[in-house]
Amino acid sequence: MRRLISVGVVTFAAAAAIAGYAFAQEDLIAKRQALMKDNGAQATIAGQMLRGDTPFDAAAAKAAMEKIAADAAEIPADFAPGSEGGDALPAIWENFADFEAKATALKTAAEAAAAATEGGLEAFGPAFGAVGQACGACHQTYRKAS
């Protein structure tokens, strides 16, 4: 009897741990997808200025690049081991150091683009181009093509 109870307790604890794990995993996927959507929103702000759809506003462009840099710093944590799923390819967890390096490359490019806003649209254009390349370099290898 005593043995049965303890087995039951262990089974329950294991089930709760698995449920908690699955929940945390879903959470992380939703969190990083929201973060990536924000990356997209910030890039759109800059892209509209470069196309001339909206006037160049150095402060707004700088804020958008700083937001991308902050988002980039968060990327590795949002892809913690065990959070496989969404449009994230398994290759991420096979080459995590490279994945992390691509997140750092985005952060560096976004910081440079934030600084370049002080040089006007001519300086900002190519610097933002490098940001777009950093997004693409990671997506190409680590994101499911949709």
Which spans of this chain sit near ligand HEC (rule: CB under 6 A)?
A: 29, 32-33, 36-37, 39-40, 43, 68, 75, 86-88, 99, 102-103, 106, 131, 134-135, 138-139, 142-143
d(CA 25, CA 117) in angstroms, rounded, equals: 38
d(CA 7, CA 86) in angstroms, rounded, equals: 35
Q: Minimum CB separation from ligand HEC for residue 15, in Å?
A: 26
Question: Which one, 33 or 63, has the nearer CB to ligand HEC?
Answer: 33
Cβ atoms 55, 49 nearer than 8 A: yes
Q: Minimum CB separation from ligand HEC for residue 10, in Å?
A: 33
Selection from 50, 74, 72, 51 nearest residue 61 by Cα: 50
Q: Which residue is nearest to ligand HEC (CB)?
A: 86
Look-up: residue for tokens 């929103």? Answer: 41
Question: Which one, 58 or 89, has the nearer CB to ligand HEC?
Answer: 89
Look-up: residue for tokens 């693409």? Answer: 136
Cβ atoms 37, 67 nearer than 8 A: no
Question: Which one, 8 or 136, has the nearer CB to ligand HEC?
Answer: 136
Q: Minimum CB separation from ligand HEC for residue 104, in Å?
A: 8
* CA pseudo-torsion sign 130, 135, 139, 141: positive
Q: Minimum CB separation from ligand HEC for residue 137, in Å?
A: 7
Question: Which one, 124 or 142, has the nearer CB to ligand HEC?
Answer: 142
